Amino acid sequence: MARSVCISLLFACGCGAIVPGANGIQRSALSSDAGALGTYNVAPGDVAVAGISSGGFMAVQLHVAYSGTFRRGAAIFAGGPYDCAQGDLITASTTCESGSPSASTYESITDSNASSGDIDPTSNLNGAQVWMWSGTGDSTVKQSVMNALQSYYQHYGANVTYDNSSNSGHAWISPDATNGCTVTQSPYINNCSVDAEQEFLTQFWGSLQAKNTGASQGNLIAFDQNEFFDDGNATGHSLDVTGWLYVPSSCASGSACHLIVALHGCEQNYGNAQIGNAFITKSGLNEWADTNGFIVLYPQTTTSSSNQEACWDWWGYDDANYAKQSGHQMLAIKRMVDRITGVTTTSTTTSTTTTTSTSASTSTSGSASGTTTGGGFCQVFTDNNYNHVQAGRAFTGSPCAGGHACAVGSSDDMGLYNTFQQTTLVESPQGYYAIGTSCPSSSATSTSSSTTTTTSTSSTTGTGSTTTTGASTTSTATTGASTMSTTSSSTSATSSTSSAGSSSGTVSSGGSTSTGTTDSTSSGGCGSTGADLSFASLLGLFALRLRRRTSS
């Protein structure tokens, strides 16, 4: 009989209710025992992602859209190029399953999204580590699709390792699996007499300590996934209320560790009684994690009316921006990673500026003070090194070595690239940064403090406007598919956007309120939200998932 299944995989960690042992998950702990995801000693950027089938497509989306976060690399089992489906059901089930996608098509989509700021710069992919697996016996995602993914990554200068010589079926490959190599059947984890996890972990992090072959040395921890959505409703976006993370004892005690995000596939989620903890305990990752300091994040999907097999959103069943940083599932996973690595994300930025001109303005991601005199320019920024890099004041990579951050312009070594190392940078002249403590002595004629609140919403159509009243200025600008609304005032901040043919909404998160627009227009019969997908439901989710063909 025919059946449809997609598989995804991703790694991360946190803290909540602890379930002892790698093989002792109790289903009763799935939701009631889940606590808040914790923070560990993992450097920002020391993160990789891996996935199979729908999880493979999702892993590519995350790696490309958040290439500044998943700096260690991506491992893809049976996936395809970035935004392969292009929000279209038929494309997902044909071109992206058994067709021959044109890599250049997806390169153009990627370049456009990067240009509009909807994803990270593609320059991050130059030299990126990518490991790929495609079996000759895989009739679900054929090798022609993975070949296109190889070409796609090579176009951007990634270092690609591609194993396409095995006769494996459609599955995640692990030495812990009981399924034979060539089958395509539940739980979709196959043993092909190769340690795939050792291969890609070595490519991402270098030589490894021998894996643990005895009793587990870590804990599986249940955590609440609701908090990573603006509406606090994970199941409303087809994620389960509970995710899982594997934390070795060394990482739990504060040792420096690494992070892997592992994405399961369709029907491979923990909530599927026929699968249970198989993916979490048989992926082959936890044993390497014990001896090498890897925290493994296992986010979990669930079924919904528009996603009946618990696939990851790589075709748009949840929202039209599914492949961009603003996609609901994409952003939720990014927030999980940020929590684990200690990165603080906020929508409110406060800046203090000292100037001699009422027309001068400063926008920063941290605390800033500055002086301009007689055509000169100077600003001082004190922030952690991670935020300095994200704001463009510092960089990583050559000639900055040893995992350090260096100032743009002077290349001053600022120390480790993380959220703990604080550095004060002086910008003078504009665009040139150096380590310092203050601007050169000068006479400032006026001092002002302001609070700037910036919020962004996705919109397909919109209008731009600027209104000035007294000391308060509100501006709205639309670029491509992204709308940014910013309001500055010496006493208060508000934001608003307007859009033609769109519905408006207000979301409150972390103490800030964002008011924006979301276009509900669908493309090719694929709506932007689950409520818009009645067409997909009527088709019985035809093309919303990869089809697994297996006989019984």
Domain ranges of the chain: 2-341, 357-435
pLDDT along the chain (552 residues), means of 10: 33 29 33 80 97 98 98 98 94 94 97 98 98 97 98 98 98 97 97 98 98 95 96 97 97 97 96 93 97 98 94 96 98 98 61 32 41 64 85 83 83 81 89 87 40 34 34 34 33 33 34 35 32 36 38 33
The active-site residue out of 170, 237, 258, 388 is 170
Q: What angle do CA 6, 9, 15 make, to 5 degrees?
A: 135
From CA 7, how far away is CA 176, in angstroms rounded? 17
Residue 235: count of CB within 10 angstroms of its CB: 15
Q: Is 201 left (phi over 0), alpha (psi -120 to 50) or beta?
A: alpha
Is position 170 annotated as part of the catalytic site?
yes
Is position 338 annotated as part of the catalytic site?
no
Q: Give the three-state DSSP class for 67.
A: coil
Q: Give me the pLDDT at residue 441, please.
A: 64
Q: Give me the pLDDT at residue 419, please.
A: 65
From CA 441, how far away is CA 6, in angstroms rounded? 63
Is position 138 annotated as part of the catalytic site?
yes
Q: Give me the pLDDT at residue 374, please.
A: 41
Which residues lie closer than 8 Å to 470 by C-beta, 6 or more apart? none
Q: Quote the pTM value.
A: 0.63
User: Which DSSP letter does residue 94 get?
Assistant: T
The active-site residue out of 46, 83, 88, 138 is 138
Nearest residue to 381 (alpha-carbon basis) of 404, 348, 414: 414
Nearest residue to 488 (alpha-carbon basis) of 504, 507, 469: 469
Q: Give me the pLDDT at residue 402, please.
A: 67
The active-site residue out of 4, 8, 53, 456 is 53
